[in-house]
Amino acid sequence: MYVMVVSTVSDDGNFWSGLKKAHTQLPQGATWKLAVASRGGGKAVNVITHDSVDGVREFFEAFAGAYATTEYFEADAANAVGLPR
């Protein structure tokens, strides 16, 4: 499934530094499809494929949880436009 990870970032530098580390340690079967920040860095959207939202939450929070407040959602892939495959 595609998991949307939507963050309100409180510490831009540490948040993205944590995600760079996380990218090198993805759980087996996970793929990082998209990582994008708003201009100014206050918001971030990531899309990660994995078998569960909870699995993505546990993984993501370990690397970036201290630097953002994040929400996790299963994406509606059937109705998405331009979703990376």
Q: Helices in the chain by DSSP H: which ranges?
A: 12-23, 53-64
**pLDDT number for residue 25:** 94
d(CA 30, CA 48): 7
pTM of the predicted model as reported, rounded to 2 decimal places = 0.92
pLDDT digits (tens, 9 = 90+) for 48-76: 999 999 999 999 999 999 999 999 999 99
**DSSP conformational letter for 27:** P
Give the residue among 67, 55, 53 at the shortest CA–CA distance from 2.
53
Domain extent listing, the chain:
2-76
Q: Is pLDDT above 90 for 85?
A: no
pLDDT digits (tens, 9 = 90+) for 12-55: 999 999 999 999 999 999 999 999 999 999 999 999 999 999 99
Computed on alpha carbons and rounded to an integer, the radius of gyration of the chain in Å comes to: 12
**DSSP conformational letter for 25:** T
Pairing of β 68-74 and β 31-37:
unpaired
Q: Was domain 2-76 assigned CATH 3.30.70.100?
A: yes
